[in-house]
Amino acid sequence: MTVLLLLASALVVWPRAPGPAARLTRPGPVVAVVGEPAGPLRRWGLGALAGGVVLVVGGVGPGSVLLAAGVAVGVERWARRDAAAGPDDGVRVRDDLPLVCDLLAVCLAAGTPVPGAVGAVATATGGPLGRALDVVAGRLQLGAPARTAWHDVPADAAALARVVVRAGESGSSVVPALQALAADLRVARRSATAAAVQQAGVWVLAPLGLCFLPAFLCLGVVPLVLGIAEDVLG
């Protein structure tokens, strides 16, 4: 049983392929990498871990074995469905947007023309936002106006499009605006993460409250009510 739990734990914590942001910090050519979905070994490792926990808690017996097998199969099916669903495009766009703003600001500050900078950032980013930026770069290289080139970017990247279009139409430098946008996006993400952590703390305490509530009622409220009823009814 110990060997099974160790094997399942190793499969669960086995490192996965790094995303684009992690790959950009390494030397060498920049390519977009998307984390691979959980394979069969990882899924069944999760199932074996859950089933092993059931056996450890419930003991080895016919009922526990059947329950552990059902839990293992259920966890594997859940992991398979989660892997098949894949990441949401909107989430990936929001995750990549601050980095895209920084990269675009660096390219433009170095003197790269806007079409070339957008194309280079699109190649480095990949994913749905990278594909949208590649389309924008192609339009800009063909001489399309900035508003036309950026008009159909994903809704989550609309702030980037507004900043670039506004700077292009006014003739001002877009680099400070891109840096400010990246900073604002990171602040918003940290605020959302902090709110999610606080909400998770409330949900974590909910089972504890459900466990203590019956004991509080039985040991505190019920004797008090019975004592008052005995005094009143005589």
Average pLDDT of adjacent 10-residue blocks, the chain of 234 residues: 47 46 41 47 72 67 72 74 59 90 94 92 91 93 91 90 89 90 92 84 71 78 84 76
Tell me the fold of 89-188. Receptor-associated Protein (1.20.81)
pTM of the model: 0.55
Question: Residue 213: what pLDDT?
Answer: 76
Buried b / exposed e over 155-190, threshold 16 CB at 10 Å, is ebbeebbebbbebbeeeeebbebbbebbeebeeeee
Domain extent listing, the chain: 44-86, 89-188
Q: Rounded to an integer, what distance in angstroms lies between the CA atom of residue 132 and that of residue 135?
A: 5
